[in-house]
Amino acid sequence: MKTVLALITKEYKLFLSDRVAMGLTFLIPIFLIAIWGSIFGSADSGPEHLGLAFLNASSAPIGRNIEKVLDTTRTFRLVKSYQDERGNQIPFDTVTIKDYVRKGNASAALVIPPDAYTDTSIGLKLKFYYDPKNEMEMRIIQGVLTQTIMSQLPGAFIEGMQRKAVRFLGLDSGTAFNTGIKSLVSRYFNIDTGKIVFPSLTDTTAASSRESKGGRDFFKNVLDFESEQLVGKNIANPMATRSVGGWAMMFLMFTLTASSVSLFEEKQSGVVLRILASPISRVQILWSKYLYNMSLGFVQLTVLFVFGSILFKIDVLSNLAGLILLLVAASMACTSFGMLLSAVSKTQSQARGLGTFLILAMSSIGGAWFPTSFMPGFIQAFSKLTLVYWSMDGFLQVLWRGAPVVDILPNLGVLVGIAAVITSVSVLQFKKGHVF
Amino acid sequence: MIRINDVTKKFPTVTALQNISLTVADGEFFGLLGPNGAGKSTLMNLLIGYLDPDGGEITVGDDKVTRDNLEARKNIGLVPQSLALYDDISAQENLEIFGSFYHIEKRTLRHRIEERLRAVELYDRRKDRVSTFSGGMKRRLNLIASLLHDPSLLLCDEPTVGVDPQSRNAIFDYLEMLNCAGKTIVYTTHYMEEAERLCTRIAIIDSGTIITEGTLDDLLAKLSYEESISIIKNSSTIGKLELFRQFGTVIDDDDRFELKPNGTFRLSSFFKSVEEQGVSTRFIEMSKPTLEALFLNLTGRSLRD
């Protein structure tokens, strides 16, 4: 037993000797739990302020009611106008709102058309345009929207029926008819008409909870919810096409981190000293490492995408130039990331620990695991600082949206910029650092 | 010719070298002898341009050695203290990689690799992974990896650490052959036997300063006595420390007392006195003075400390 205790003590001493590595052991799970908790933590939590393009072209009260409810729900942030080239805010029309979604500015749009609800109609017409670039986000949008709209239907329907009765039959007969129709509706559609009340327009949850099952079955027949997928209709494997970028980036970063920290092994074995004893400069070593890792990253990504195209029918050929440029830019950025780890870490285990932490952090807040729109606002701001975000967005543009090269120029620019900044920092750090 | 002129190198917590000045002539086999931590490897790292000195200057031939002067390194080969090899590839592949850094023409490089491998008796194992080699074989490979560009100056930083006697002798023979062929060799070690066997001139370094230098004979002549006396520690000798001190300075080493005779020392009177005190002469050994004794004399410490 004493021997085992001595061995355990030895393990703890070694573990505690590297404070950075020790800190990361706890920091990584805490960080990830915090991220997951902020998204899926409590029962009443959920995505907030998802961008929803909205156009209400109807003059009917129900349109205003729906707009009011959507405006006050925390799930959505209604976008009712777009910015033109001059920077002016222009209200949507039926054409521009679709373009807005097509360009990826919002995942969905809800249009309440002029003829959404008339005194002569018995149902509600709505148009829904969407881009399912992220399935999880789309399901939540559709779910919350359906819930909100359905909560408005009972009151609107009853009100409409009553108005029609009064108009056709006159006030007295109409009132008598309305009383009678209640019992008819109750009898034939199995609805407790006493529970049909005008719901509070600002409390969708309460309204929803008051709905009876029979009510939902009935009212769904009077809702004409015309939906149209605007982007990615012809994609053979939407799931694989959407997720390939995020996973590819995560594995690329792991590969390049491992490759970059090999500098520590070379230093430890004395190979770095042998190399530097020959007519080779430190800068040449760094550049050779950089170019090697970049080419390795590029080949890894290429193999992954080729494999994806064969096995999952991901269309890599339609926009090959854009894809190749993205692969190069992503490899550059990931390579720089690996170099930075080597430059700022004092030991190999520190580099590995820090690498794991940053990779998981960037993958989670960069959108590789779940949509960035699900995250709290301040984390969404951070996500745009990650190379995962810009790479994933670029891959989505190219593979999902079929965007031309010009559309991914911002992504390419940011990735190359990230690579340039991180590489410069790494080189400066290497000059005064521990590896050489 | 190597000129080390008033070189100082400081690290954040220690001054590794303090105002070192040395000259090594072309064709010399120069030894740098000192205990661990004396500053030998730091000096080697300065000589190869891996580090820049904080003060002073080093020139090899006409080239000033600095971190940025790649030209100076073309004629220098470094045998690092550690086994600077890639374990997962073959000996030949290692040599091809290290040779490629010098832009040697392919056929010449292939020829040199074969020749060096044969010279250290590794040719038959050239296609084996280095990880399958013994420590001695790795040391030999480590040595020839530094010679592919045929440098005129070879810096050997304790190249026999952890090597079996057979491989050590093979390395010594090979280095002597290289020296005979005209190469200048700077050899660091904390084994006085190695320095005594190989080096035509030796500098003794301790705590970052050169405490003495010269040929072996010059150095040993600095001792004031011609015989070195060791008294083995046992029950009959341990209590006689004061007696021994009458004849010179006594250094209490691990298993023996080392007696450095003073100027009036007479061997006959020494033996007479110890016998009278009941110490058997069987426990007294006499030998020619060594560099170890010189180091003890100069620093009061053993080279192995």
Residues A223 and A248 in one domain: no
A126 band by pLDDT with thresholds 50, 70 and 90 = confident
B94 interfacial to chain A (CB closer than 8 Å):
no
Poorest-pLDDT segment among A295-304, A337-346, A371-380, B163-172: A371-380
Interface check B161 vs A, CB under 8 A: no
Q: Whole-number mean pLDDT of chain A?
A: 81
Last residue of a domain, one of A229, A260, A284: A229
In the prediction, which pLDDT does A46 show? Answer: 65
Is A333 within the bounds of a domain?
A: yes
- Give the model's confidence band at A161: pLDDT under 50 very low, under 70 low, under 90 confident, else very high: low
* pLDDT of A213: 45
| B15-57 pLDDT tens trace | 999 999 999 999 999 999 998 889 999 999 999 999 999 999 9
Q: Is the pLDDT of residue B105 over 90?
A: yes
B52 to chain A, any CB pair closer than 8 A? The answer is no
Which pLDDT belongs to residue A40? Answer: 64
Percentage of chain A exceeding pLDDT 70: 81
Would the pLDDT of A295 be above 70?
Answer: yes
Is A209 a residue whose pLDDT tops 60?
no
Across the interface, whether the CB atoms of A280 and B101 are under 8 A apart is answered yes
Closest by CA to A387, choosing from A410, A362, A413, is: A362
Q: Are residues A271 and A193 in the same domain?
A: no
- CB atoms A270 and B77 under 8 Å: no
Q: Is B240 exposed, middle or buried (0-12, 13-18, 19+ CB in 10 A)?
A: middle
Work out the pLDDT band at A216, boundaries 50, 70, 90.
very low
Q: Are residues A244 and A175 part of one domain?
A: no
CB contact under 8 A, B102 and A276: no
pLDDT above 90 coverage of chain B, percent = 62
Question: Between A85 and B97, where is the model more confident?
Answer: B97
In the predicted structure, residue A210 carries a pLDDT above the cut 50: no
Using the Cβ of B151 and the Cβ atoms of chain A, whether some distance falls under 8 Å is answered with no
Q: Residue A148 in contact with residue A163, Cβ under 8 Å?
A: no
- The answer as to whether A31 is a domain residue is no
Residue A398 shares a structural domain with residue A360? yes
- pLDDT at residue A157, as a whole number: 67
Give the distance, in angstroms, between the CA of residue A243 and the centroid of all CA atoms in the same chain. 11
Are both A165 and A275 inside the same structural domain?
Answer: no
Q: What is the CATH number of the domain that holds A122?
A: 3.40.1710
Residue ranges of chain B assigned to CATH 3.40.50.300:
2-219
Q: Tokens in use for A181?
A: 């129709």
ipTM: 0.85
> So what's the pLDDT on residue A155?
67
For residues A270 and A268, give the distance between their C-alpha atoms in angstroms, rounded to a whole number: 5
The Cβ of residue A322 has, within 10 Å, a number of other Cβ atoms equal to: 24
- Give the model confidence (pLDDT) of B283-296 as tens digits: 888 877 788 778 87
Most confident among A53-62, B39-48, B248-257 (mean pLDDT): B39-48
For residues A266 and A134, state if they share a domain.
no
Task: Kindly report, residue by residue over A221-238, the tens digit of the pLDDT.
Answer: 567 778 888 888 888 888
Do residues B192 and B31 make contact, with C-beta atoms less than 8 angstroms apart?
A: no
**Mean pLDDT over all residues of chain B?**
90
Q: Is residue A33 part of a domain?
A: no
Q: Is the pLDDT of residue A165 over 80?
A: no
Can you tell me which residue has the tokens 């190069």?
A328
| pLDDT the model gives residue B305 | 57
Q: Which pLDDT value is given to residue A135?
A: 79
| Contact between chains at B50 and A271 (C-beta distance less than 8 A) | no
pLDDT-wise least confident of A42-56, A160-174, A199-213: A199-213
Q: Which one of B70, B71, B80 has the shortest CB-CB distance to A274? A: B80
The region of weakest confidence among A189-203, A405-419, B209-223 is A189-203
Chain A residues touching chain B at CB-CB below 8 Å: 268-271, 273-282
Please report whether residue A140 resides in a domain: yes
Say which of B74, B84, B149 has its CB closest to residue A269.
Answer: B84
Per-residue confidence (pLDDT) for residue B213, from 0 to 100: 93
Under CATH, which architecture does the B224-288 domain have?
Answer: 2-Layer Sandwich (3.30)
Cβ pair B78:A277 closer than 8 A? yes
- In the predicted structure, residue A202 carries a pLDDT above the cut 60: no
Q: Total structural domains in chain A? A: 2
Angle (CA) B79-B80-B84 rounded to 5° is: 105
Whether residue A254 is found in the same domain as residue A338: yes
Nearest-CA distance B50 → chain A (Å)? 6
**Is residue A1 in some structural domain?**
no
Confidence band for A212, pLDDT divided at 50, 70 and 90: very low
| Side chain identity, residue A235 | I
Query: Is some CB atom of chain A closer than 8 A to the CB atom of B66?
Result: no
Does any CB of chain A come closer than 8 Å to the CB of residue B86? yes
Q: Is the pLDDT of residue B90 over 90?
A: yes
The amino acid that residue A165 corresponds to is A
Q: In chain B, which among 221-260 make CB contacts under 8 A with chain A?
A: none
**Residue A258, in any domain of the structure:** yes
A with B: how many residue pairs have Cβ under 8 Å apart? 56
A290 and A180 share one domain: no
Closest residue in chain B to residue A271, using alpha carbons only: B84
Domain with A281, as residue range(s), is 235-431
Topology given in CATH for the domain delimited by B2-219: Rossmann fold (3.40.50)
pLDDT at A221: 53
When pLDDT is averaged across residues A136-165 and rounded to a whole number, the result is 76
Please write the tens of the pLDDT for every residue from B122-158.
Answer: 999 999 999 999 999 999 999 999 999 999 999 999 9
Specify whether the CB–CB gap between A272 and A263 falls below 8 A: yes
Please judge whether A274 and B76 are an interchain contact, meaning their C-beta atoms are less than 8 angstroms apart: no
- In chain B, CATH 3.30.70.790 sits at 224-288
Q: Does residue A38 lie in a domain region?
A: no
Residue A433 above 90 pLDDT? no
pLDDT in tens, A318-349: 899 999 999 999 999 999 998 888 888 888 88
Distance from CA of A267 to the nearest CA of B (A): 9
Contact yes or no for B98 and A279 at CB 8 A: no
Do both A286 and A262 map to the same domain? Answer: yes
DSSP state of B65: P
Q: Is B76 on the interface with A (CB under 8 A)?
A: yes
Nearest chain A residue to B101 by CA distance is A278
The model's pLDDT over A251-273, given as tens digits with 9 standing for 90+, comes to: 888 888 887 778 888 888 899 99
Chain A contact present for B79, CB below 8 A: no
Q: Do A274 and B50 touch (CB under 8 A)?
A: no
> Which pLDDT score is estimated for A59?
83
For tokens 């700022």, name the residue: A344
Q: What is the pLDDT of residue A402?
A: 87
A145 pLDDT above the threshold of 70: yes
Residue A207: what pLDDT? 37
Nearest CA in chain B to A278: B73
Which chain B residues touch A280 with a CB distance below 8 Å?
A: 70, 101
Which of B41, B42, B47, B48 to mutate against chain A (most A CBs within 10 Å)? B48
Give the Cβ contact number of residue B12 at 10 Å. Answer: 4
